[in-house]
Amino acid sequence: MKTNITTKNSLLNNSLSKNPLQLLITLLIITVIPSLANANENHQYSGKYQPKKMMNFGPGEHYQHDMDINISEYKKVRDISKRADDLPEPLARKQSKKVTIMLEAVEVISKIAPNILYHYWTFNNTVPGPFLRVSEDDTVELTLYNNESSSHSHAIDLHAVTGPGGGKAVTEVEPGESKTLTFKATTPGLYIYHCAAGNPATHIANGMYGMILVEPKQGLSKVDHEFYVMQGELYTKQRLGKKGFQKFNSRKMIDERPEYIIFNGRTGALTGENQLQAKVGDKVRIFFGNAGVTKISSFHIIGEIFDKVYPEAALGNPLKNVQTTLVPAGGATMVEFEVDYPGNYVLVDHALARVDRGAWGILNVTGEKNDALYSGDSSSNSGSKKHHKMNH
């Protein structure tokens, strides 16, 4: 905390002309109080790196988080992305029970895109972190361990938790430490969880987020496939597509200017070998979350209509026959639909400029065609030949 020197001198001069007790009080004001304030600021953000004047919440003009990263100090992860089909099976029980969950906060080096490296902060080495699945009225015992190699303290806030900080108040851990939160999953729904230590937006933007499903006691309707997809934002110092190691840029985050907007941690995470797979006639459910930290998502699948949408992941009365659904930062949705025709269906944030920043994936559907539903010549030359004949 800076103290104006002119103000100090004025206070001292005034006090010297008065009694010694007033002088003592004045000295205490200008020396002890600023020291206490500085101690409080430094205490709020711990670990290897302690940015100046770091605070938990804004206004953020004072906050400029900057780190010099030695990538050799951190674990290398070949693929940061969480597979969309990597989630627990539906719970085949109606009785509540005690559920034990172990999470590790670990910072790693991995690729945003080919030849572009980033210092990700993760739960369990992936972005998003594990999909957690419990049942209504379960008692959940969650232990968070912060890997000793971490540069910062970490914590967890689960939106499914009722209590201070969603669990953050009892889970903030220094590198090498672990703490346990016990909570009752009282309310069915699909919820975001994220790190909430220090400046929460920084921890989320660097990859510390995931989702927890609290299934209603009667369970969810039966489907053939469930998928886990989360949208996130990366704020790199260099421009979109710049090769090499990219540092986090806090100024861009405060200005709400992400360089990358991605599904499941990196560009291309839901394509190729990791694309979603289904067959004609299958019923599909997608758990979709938006980690933010600044943008609303307009979730859409090109060529599909959602049969059911549970807006903001409230598991009550779903909307029917929806084309695009809004998902706020820190929110989620659950969509269900039957696939009727083979082909590639593109998952997007329908703020379509974001496709070029990485927000897209593929649902590949195989099976028999239904010409009554959809037909036409998709060959590249057919349209041009017909146009040529019409002009002659």
243 assigned to some structural domain: yes
Q: What's the DSSP call for residue 275?
A: S
| Residue 67: predicted pLDDT | 79
Task: At 343, list the tokens.
Answer: 């082909």
| Residue 368: predicted pLDDT | 98
Whether 167 and 140 share a structural domain:
yes
Whether 274 and 231 share a structural domain:
yes
| Residue 72: predicted pLDDT | 94
Whether 91 and 39 share a structural domain:
no
How far is Cα 132 from Cα 161, in angstroms, rounded to an integer? 13
| Residue 1: predicted pLDDT | 39
Whether 100 and 133 share a structural domain:
yes
Whether 119 and 191 share a structural domain:
yes
Whether 14 and 89 share a structural domain:
no
Return the exposure string of 278-306: e unless at least 16 CB atoms fall within 10 Å of the residue's CB, then b: bebebbbbbbbbbbbbbbebbbbbeebeb
Whether 91 and 119 share a structural domain:
yes
10-residue averages of pLDDT along the chain (392 residues): 42 48 52 42 48 46 72 96 98 93 98 98 98 98 98 97 98 98 98 96 97 96 98 98 96 96 98 98 98 98 98 95 98 98 98 98 98 90 51 46
390 assigned to some structural domain: no
Whether 335 and 262 share a structural domain:
yes
Q: Which CATH number is 262's domain given?
A: 2.60.40.420
How far is Cα 30 from Cα 184, in angstroms, rounded to an integer? 48
Whether 237 and 334 share a structural domain:
yes
319 assigned to some structural domain: yes
Count of structural domains within the chain: 3
57 assigned to some structural domain: no
Q: In what order do the strands lie in the sheet with 331-338?
A: 260-263, 225-234, 283-292, 331-338, 306-310, 319-322
Give the domain-ending residue among 218, 246, 264: 218
Identify the domain containing residue 256 by its residue range.
227-366
Query: What is the pairing mode between strands 283-292 and 260-263?
Result: unpaired
Selection from 254, 255, 249 nearest residue 66 by Cα: 249
| Residue 12: predicted pLDDT | 42
N residues, the chain:
392
Task: At 107, list the tokens.
Answer: 């910072």
126 assigned to some structural domain: yes
Quick count: other Cβ atoms within 10 Å of Cβ 221? 10
Write down the pTM of the prediction.
0.84
